[in-house]
């Protein structure tokens, strides 16, 4: 085997390892969009992958006001003017598909997947 062949093979292997690593990073970052909906309308969308410091979001709702805190760890209903306090008791959510619901104030906070990973295409098999 020539020396050049060995270099090419080494580069191919390195690219393959790099590609796998890159895909894993993308995978681990999917499901990190937090969407806050009020009255079935999208109020805010926060990308938890790129958020740096904790973000405090306060807004008026039917029964008073709500206070949501988003950070890289996830999103939490810190305070809500509602009778049942179910939304506050839900605590921190951070995984795709998780939800905080406040029925009295018609607030839904959900963690969505990245649009890229939601199209069902398996990148590895291509
Ligand atoms: Zn509530």
Q: What is the pLDDT of residues 49-58, one digit of tens each?
A: 899 889 999 9
Q: Which residues make up the environment of ion ligand 1, defined by Cβ < 5 Å?
A: 80, 82, 87, 102
SS3 for the chain is: CCHHHHHHHHHHHHHHHHHHHHHHHHHHHCCCEEEEEECCEEEEEEECCCCCCCEEEEEEECCEEEEEEEECCEEEEEEECCCCCHHHHHCCECCCCCEEEECCCCEEEEEECCHHHHHCCCHHHC
Q: 31 C-alpha to center of ligand 1: Å? A: 24
Asked which of 11-20, 71-80, 96-105 is least confident by mean pLDDT, the reply is 11-20
Residue 26: pLDDT band with limits 50, 70, 90: low
Domain 31-113 -> CATH class: mainly beta
Q: How far is the CA of 102 from the centre of ligand 1 (A)?
A: 4
pLDDT recorded at residue 117: 46
Q: Where are the domains of the chain?
A: 3-27, 31-113
**Could you read off the pLDDT of 30-74 as tens digits, one per residue?**
558 999 999 999 999 999 989 988 999 999 998 899 999 999 999
Rounded distance from Cα 19 to ligand 1 centre (Å): 44
Q: With 0.75 as the threshold, say if the pTM is over it.
A: no
């Amino acid at each position: 085997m020539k020396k050049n062949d060995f270099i090419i093979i080494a580069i191919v292997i390195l690219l393959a390892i790099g590609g796998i690593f890159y895909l894993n990073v993308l995978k681990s970052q999917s499901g990190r969009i937090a969407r806050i909906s009020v009255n079935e309308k999208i109020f805010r969308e926060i990308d938890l992958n790129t958020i740096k410091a904790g973000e405090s979001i306060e807004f008026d709702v039917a029964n008073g006001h709500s206070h949501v805190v988003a950070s890289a760890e996830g999103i939490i209903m810190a305070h809500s003017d509602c009778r049942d306090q179910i939304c506050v008791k839900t605590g921190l959510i951070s995984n795709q598909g998780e939800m905080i619901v406040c029925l009295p104030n018609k607030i839904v906070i959900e963690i969505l997947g990245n649009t890229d990973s939601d199209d069902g295409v398996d990148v590895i098999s291509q």
